[in-house]
Amino acid sequence: MDDKTQIAAIENVPPSFGMVSCMPNPFNPTTVLSYKLQVASSVSLTVFDIQGREVAMLVDGYREAGVHEATFDASNLASGIYLYSLSAGDFSASGKMVLMK
């Protein structure tokens, strides 16, 4: 790897962990959840219904540092509010999204 490639790889590492977005929101029937990892980590990204029941496990495993995306397909679910939960190392975040059919 040359110096330019190393610099590009370093520049692509986000300065912090975090949820970047859930686009679109409201959605029908799919949405893309984006998240960023400052360092490689074991990641869990789960979607729950409003009663707290797990409806989808989008990510469950090790991911490299950088920005990642996961698609949530709610074709078989009812309209309503859904919650997502992201955990990566010591970082955790959650949010809501609205499915409108």
* Positive/negative CA dihedral, 15, 41, 10, 70: negative
Q: Is residue 61 part of a domain?
A: yes
β-partners of residue 19 are: 35
Range of the domain at 23: 14-99
* pLDDT of res. 48: 97
| pLDDT at position 88 over 70 | yes
Supply the pTM of this predicted model.
0.82
Q: Is residue 88 part of a domain?
A: yes
| pLDDT at position 2 over 50 | no
Q: How far is it, in rounded angstroms, from Cα 94 to Cα 73?
A: 18
* pLDDT of res. 15: 55
Q: Which residue has the higher pLDDT, 18 or 52?
A: 52
The CATH number assigned to the domain holding 88 equals 2.60.40.1930
Q: Is residue 6 part of a domain?
A: no
For 63, the enclosing helix (H) or strand (E) is strand 54-63
Structurally, the chain folds into a number of domains equal to 1
**Where residue 17 falls among pLDDT bands split at 50, 70, 90?**
low
Q: Is residue 2 part of a domain?
A: no
For 24, the enclosing helix (H) or strand (E) is none
Rounded to an integer, the average pLDDT of 21-47 is 93
